[in-house]
Structure 1
Amino acid sequence: MNQQELSKRLATVGEFVPNGARLADIGSDHAYLPVALVLAKKIDFSIAGEVVIGPFTSAVKQVKKNNLSQNITVRLASGLDAIEQDDDITAITIAGMGGTLIRDILAQGQSKNKLSGKERLILQPNVGEKTLRSWLMAESYEIIAERILEENQKIYEIIVAEKSPNTMTYTNEQLMFGPFLSKEKNPTFKKKWQRELNQRNHVLQQLSLAETVPSGKIEQLETERKLIEEMLA
């Protein structure tokens, strides 16, 4: 197991983990990411948190197989409950979940004082990116980097954030499209939002045929369609 064997998605998440970070990988699955990062000598300490017993057992096996029990501690816990104060965590990765779930994990962890504010957050939501960015803004996290990539016909966004002493303000467009991604507008970004535009057009067409039309829903979709068209123009 090495960094080259990671999926493109996880390898990209790993790129944003600082050298020498003390990592908490939440929802670690098979602990592929911490194992790869330790073997690559990028980090030498990680917590692998997993809430489901099957993946937890797989993670324990993966760590033992690579003789990394001194470097990686696997914990069966919900969300940031996997983190203990003595871990002195400086980076948190949460990948492969919905943005709403990632937001809830962070919010619950914050309410239990599991976030010190010195951690870099490296987040890869499968959907619901705007929801996640809105929470980061409300909690004074600055988005310092973003990446969009395609793997196996799926498009993923990675959001990297750090706590800021300042109040963060992002526009509705930045929350929806990403402050960095909307500037870069690379081909993958355009492909994603063309898909999103097509989907909204399809839903609007279906709603136009409905006997009772939810006006609020149509208004929201029309607004989003206009924003996407402007972004792609």
Structure 2
Amino acid sequence: MIELSQRLQTIGDMVKPGHRVADIGSDHAYLPTYLIQKGIASACIAGEVNRGPWQSAERQVRSAGLAEYIDVRLGNGLSVISPGEVDTVCIAGMGGSLIASILNEGCEKLAGVQQLLLQPNVGAPLVRRWLLAHGWQLSKEKILEEDGVIYEILEAVPGNPELPYEGRSLSREELVEVGPYLWQEKSPVLRKKWEQERDKLKSVQEQLQRAKNPEAEEKKREVAKRLTWMEEMLSCMQTDKE
């Protein structure tokens, strides 16, 4: 049985049982191997755009004796699947901008897909905005820390994209930034993430203080405004947990 990182195992355990799964940017096909070995997925496609990782994935699948269940394909993004071929699409371990771009370029391939599992390393709000704009309902969010790195995992299903943002204490745009379900949970990991974001922005603010040009003045105001929002948000997290 393959051993996965906590990040990948969390994604794998969110896959709906019996689904056919496409893992886009599969690298060594560890996730598809886990899904088949655990009996979670009925079949998998491991997609990889680069020949080296594609060959590594092929070797992994052969050595695990799972070539009958995992099809390793070379291609860019969602080009490796056909409409109706899979039930779940996983895209993990890349920036939110790239994930949104992959979804955008392969939009027609999502016909029949019932579940998206997306794990942006950075730029999660870009992914939430894409889901909102394209009729996908954010249905679950998880946040975890592994080896000093904080990861957000988003699950989306076809549905009402506005639903997760309704009746909340923050505005829609604020919830796109934080994550509506993460805000509801207010875990210590979420607080840590935003403390780190605040500290990074404070460093930017300190650097801007030394600049005297007009452009810097506008930037100073923007940074000060965002810092105020972050402090208010962190204060709400603390108050709600006490």
Question: Which TM-score bucket, shorter chain as reference?
Answer: over 0.9
CA distance in structure 2 between the partners assigned to 1:127 and 1:49 by the alignment? 21
Q: Against the structure 1 CA distance between its residues 224 and 84, is the aligned structure 2 distance closer, same or farther, given a 3 Å change threshold?
A: same
Cα deviation 1:109-140 (Å, max 9, x = unaligned): 01xx1111533000000000111111111112
> Is the contact made by 1:143 and 1:160 (CA closer than 8 Å) also made in structure 2?
yes
> Is the contact made by 2:19 and 2:43 (CA closer than 8 Å) also made in structure 1?
yes
Shift of residue 85, structure 1, vs aligned partner: 3.4
Shift of residue 208, structure 1, vs aligned partner: 1.2
CA distance in structure 1 between the partners assigned to 2:96 and 2:103 by the alignment? 11
Please point out which of 45, 67, 70 is paired with 2:68: 70
Cα deviation 1:53-77 (Å, max 9, x = unaligned): 1110000000000111110000000
Aligned residue type for 1:187: P
Please point out which of 95, 100, 109 is paired with 2:97: 100
Please point out which of 101, 114, 123 is paired with 1:119: 114
Residue in 2 that maps onto 1:176: 177
CA distance in structure 2 between the partners assigned to 1:219 and 1:161 by the alignment? 35
Please point out which of 230, 234, 237 is paired with 1:228: 230
CA distance in structure 2 between the partners assigned to 1:55 and 1:38 by the alignment? 20
CA RMSD of aligned residues (A): 1.4
Unaligned 5+ runs, structure 2: 166-171, 236-242
CA distance in structure 1 between the partners assigned to 2:84 and 2:230 by the alignment? 45
> Is the contact made by 2:87 and 2:112 (CA closer than 8 Å) also made in structure 1?
no
> Is the contact made by 2:84 and 2:112 (CA closer than 8 Å) also made in structure 1?
no
> Is the contact made by 1:123 and 1:158 (CA closer than 8 Å) also made in structure 2?
yes
CA distance in structure 2 between the partners assigned to 1:12 and 1:216 by the alignment? 42
Residue in 2 that maps onto 1:28: 26
> Is the contact made by 1:94 and 1:102 (CA closer than 8 Å) also made in structure 2?
yes
CA distance in structure 1 between the partners assigned to 2:112 and 2:202 by the alignment? 41
CA distance in structure 1 between the partners assigned to 2:112 and 2:217 by the alignment? 42
Q: Give the alignment's TM-score, normalised by structure 1.
A: 0.93
Mapping of residues 207-226 of structure 1, within 5 Å: 207-212=208-213, 213-226=215-228
Unaligned 5+ runs, structure 1: none
Cα deviation 1:143-163 (Å, max 9, x = unaligned): 110000001110000011112
Aligned residue type for 1:221: V
> Is the contact made by 1:76 and 1:82 (CA closer than 8 Å) also made in structure 2?
yes
> Is the contact made by 2:131 and 2:161 (CA closer than 8 Å) also made in structure 1?
no
CA distance in structure 2 between the partners assigned to 1:167 and 1:86 by the alignment? 22
Residue in 2 that maps onto 1:82: 80
Residue in 1 that maps onto 2:126: 131
Cα deviation 1:28-50 (Å, max 9, x = unaligned): 00000000110011112000000
CA distance in structure 1 between the partners assigned to 2:115 and 2:71 by the alignment? 20
Shift of residue 185, structure 1, vs aligned partner: 1.0
Residue in 1 that maps onto 2:201: 200
Q: Against the structure 1 CA distance between its residues 85 and 136, is the aligned structure 2 distance closer, same or farther, given a 3 Å change threshold?
A: closer
Q: Give the alignment's TM-score, normalised by structure 2.
A: 0.90
